Each structure stands twice: as C-alpha cells, then as structure tokens.
Amino acid sequence: MLKGKEGVCSNRYLLYVLNQTDYRGYANGTTRLKLTQSAMRRIPVNLAPLKEQHRIVAKIEELFSELDKGIENLKTAQAQLKVYRQALLKHAFEGKLTAQWRTQRRAKQTVAPAQAGAQLLNDMDSRPTPSRGQAMRGNDEAGSGNDEPLETAEALLKRIQQERAQRYQQQLAEWEESPSIPLLQRGKPTSTAPIPPLEKGGRGGISKPKPPKTLPPLTAEELAELPELPEGWGWVKLGTVVETNVGFAFKSSEFSSNGIRLLRGENIEPRQLRWVDTRFWPSESMGQFNDLLVNPGEIIVAMDRPVISSGLKVARVKQSDVPCLLVQRVARIKEQQNICTSYIFSVIDQNRFINHCLGNQTGTQLPHISEAQIRAYPVPLCSYEEQIKISEELDSRTTEADQLDQTITTALKQAEALRQSILKKAFSGQLVPQDPNDEPASELLARIKAERLASQGNLVVRRKGGRS
C-alpha cells in the first residue's frame, strides 16, 4: 500500500502520477509481471508544490468527469446499435422485412398474366391466328422471370436434396473410375510398410465419397418454440440445406516458420478473422490437405468457446484470408447452390444462435459445441429469390450501423488517448497556472531531507546512550 507523506504529497496526486507511469522498466517476469517494493521506490515522481497538487487534482477530476460522461454516452450508443442489429435480424427472419416486397411481388404476378392476355387479344385481332405452339410460348414468356410464383421452402428443400443426391452419385462414379492407388495418408508416415491399394476404400489416392448426411426433421415440440413464419416459408435444420465439415488435427511438431496459414479457433473473432500469432503448415505437404483449403465466402465457426464477451466467434472468409487450412475444432459452412451464403451468415449472426450454442455446449473450462449441434440449428427457409432480397436489405441497413459502430470505437480509443494526454500535461506543469507564492518543491524536498537527517541523528544518539 502506498501513501503520500502528509504535508508533502497528496494521495490523489500520487494516484494520478502512478496511473500515467510506464512500468515496463521497473516490472520483471515473463508469464506474470511483478513489481517489487525496491523497484517501486525507484519510480520518479514529478513533485509539484502542495497547493498546486490540489489544483492539479481538481482540474484532472473536472476534465475526467466530462470525459467519462462522453465515454458513457458513446457506449450507450454502441449498445443501442447492437440492439438495433438484433431487432433488424429478428424482423428479417420472421419475414417482416420483406413483407411489402412479397405483396408487390404477388400483385405483379397477378397483373402480368392479365396484361399479357389483353396484349394477346389485341395481337390476334391484328394478325393471323397463331399456332398452338406459338400461343403457349407467348404465355410462358409472359410468366417468366419475376412473374413466376415464389418457390416454397418445401419445394426448394426437395430440390436441394435431389441436387445433393445427384452430386454424390457423380462423385461416386468419378471415384469408381479412378485408378486403384494407395490412399494418401495425412501427416508423417509412422510405418514403412506398404499401404494396400484399396485400404479404407482408397481409390485414386482419395477415400470413397460419403453419402449426404441426413437429419431428422424438427419435431412438433421444437417447431412450437419457434416464431411463426410467412406462407411459403418453413423451419429446417441447418444441415439439411448446407454442407459442413471440421478441420484436421495438425501436429504442432510439424509446423513451419512459413507456408500455408492454419485457421485455428484463436484466429476467429466476431464477424472477422484475425491473423495474430499465426501458425503455418509446410507448402510442400499441401497435397494431402487440398480438401481442407478454405474458400472466400465460406462461413467459419469456432467450436471451442464459441461465445465470448464481444459476441459470437463466427466469420466469413475474405479474399485476403486465403490460402489457409482448416484446423480441428473449427467448423466450415460451405457455399451451396440455391442457398444464399450471406443469408445463412446473417441467420446465425443472431442472439438465437448464441442461445443455441450456450444451451448445447459441453465442458466448463473449455466450452465446446459439436458439428452435429451446429447442423441441428433451426433456420427459416424461404425462396432463393427472397433470400437474396433479404440479404440486400440487411446489407444496406447494417452497413450504416457498422460504420457508425466503427466511428464510436475510434472515438472511444481517442478518449483513452485524451485521458493520457491530460495526465501528461498535468505532470509537466501545463494543466493549471502556477502560483509564485506556493512553496517551491525544491524547498519542500530540502525540508524533508533535513527532517530525515535529524531523525537519523536522534536515532544514533539513542543507540549510543543505550550502550553506556
């Protein structure tokens, strides 16, 4: 505990001096820094006259009070932006954001055939009667594009499942036509024994394709807990409309100083990847891991500690993030035909997905959510056309909010810098006017030194007297 000497140094003044001190030259230790008492005694203190100390403290606290009010207002605005974002996402995925668009879309769908029919009658009056085939083509053209009814979630889901099954059959056929060569082994080989050509279904150096993962539909009880959706929408499990996979357990002993970046949970922050403390995998060993190369646009989810104080550790891969390899305990949501990835990213960038993670994660020291639990998350499905419309609306509205949030973050950093600037001015004699009538600090220190020498002299006399 530190305490200023009475009549010499104000405790509040000493507090602010120590708050602006750089301790790097006095603290020692690596994992845990430690400031010893002897090191603390070496810290220099700019000592002002006592009366000036009181004026400095009063001015600092006046300025800090105004600064704290500004910081509080900025943080309140930032919190309101988060509430706005979540309210907007909730509005969007209950179908309310595009309700007017759907109404206009249906009206256009109703008007277009009537207009086409009237035009056809006029044309029939002014030209020879067309053949049946020509008339049918005319009707098809009138009802094409945005004039066609929106695809229902049920029809879209069925189409996605059919396309996934067809893709699997194609991959299986390509695999069966591949030459029978050994299956590539990941990591360094632990044995020199030859690998049988078809071990683990290996063919063409790759394993046999797995059939699409099927998930049971949501139960009536699960659906009852979810919000109502517009007509034509439907609740489905995430894994029924997108493909996911998890990374590989790369051995740290085989890391290199450069090469391909490894995408670990530590690199994932809310809505962005952060390449600090990056690990690398040798480029020459890449052939074994091509299927783990991450692509721009894909969604990345941290499976260990997915929820942190600043939000959900989910991000989209940017062009500047590649190339990189997916590491274990990191899940990837791949881009899928007929599913808008921006739509899916916004669906899981909600408090509802945070609650899903918190309610399903296991472990206390290191909370973890599995790939199966991610795939089981209920998502609202609508037509691909409306997915794109929702994503466009969200993008235009959240862009302004994101820019404002960034402005607030910058202002908060500037406020902290201003706090340090105030302290620096305070202890360099620039914050308050100086009074020539104040006792100079040099005289104050001389008086302290004299009192200390006198007390030491009295102590010596007492000791001598005790021996006699």
As a whole number of angstroms, the distance between CA 139 and CA 117 comes to 8
Greater model confidence, 304 or 195 = 304
Q: pLDDT tens, 378-390?
A: 999 999 999 999 9
Average pLDDT over every residue of 221-242: 94
Res 433: pLDDT = 85
Q: pLDDT tens, 55-98?
A: 899 999 999 999 999 999 999 999 999 999 999 999 999 999 99
Res 202: pLDDT = 46
Given the DSSP bridges, would you call strands 330-333 and 324-326 parallel, antiparallel or unpaired? unpaired
As a whole number of angstroms, the distance between CA 371 and CA 392 comes to 29
Is 200's pLDDT higher than 60? Answer: no
Is 267's pLDDT higher than 70? Answer: yes
Is 212's pLDDT higher than 90? Answer: no
Average pLDDT over every residue of 7-21: 82
Report phi then psi at 376, rounded to 5: -85, -5
Greater model confidence, 6 or 116 = 6
Average pLDDT over every residue of 258-270: 94
As a whole number of angstroms, the distance between CA 54 and CA 42 comes to 24
Residue among 248, 263, 258 at smallest CA distance from 283: 258
Average pLDDT over every residue of 1-27: 78
Which residues, other chains included, contact 159 with Cβ-Cβ below 8 Å and sequence gap of 6+?
151, 338
Where do the domains of the chain lie, and which CATH numbers do they carry?
Answer: 236-382 (3.90.220.20)
Q: What is the mean pLDDT of the chain?
A: 82
Reported confidence tier of residue 133, pLDDT bands at 50, 70, 90: very low
Peptide bond into 323 cis (omega under 30): yes
Cα separations (Å) of 458 from 61, 452, 462?
42, 10, 6
As a whole number of angstroms, the distance between CA 151 and CA 232 comes to 8
Average pLDDT over every residue of 223-235: 94
Answer whether 273's CB lies under 8 Å from 267's CB. yes
Res 80: pLDDT = 94
Q: pLDDT tens, 140-160?
A: 333 335 668 889 999 999 988
As a whole number of angstroms, the distance between CA 228 and CA 221 comes to 14
Greater model confidence, 185 or 81 = 81
Res 129: pLDDT = 44
CA dihedral of residues 383, 389, 391, 397 (deg, nearest 10)? -150
Average pLDDT over every residue of 168-182: 77
Res 428: pLDDT = 86
Answer whether 186's CB lies under 8 Å from 248's CB. yes
Cα separations (Å) of 220 from 217, 226, 406?
9, 10, 42
Res 360: pLDDT = 93
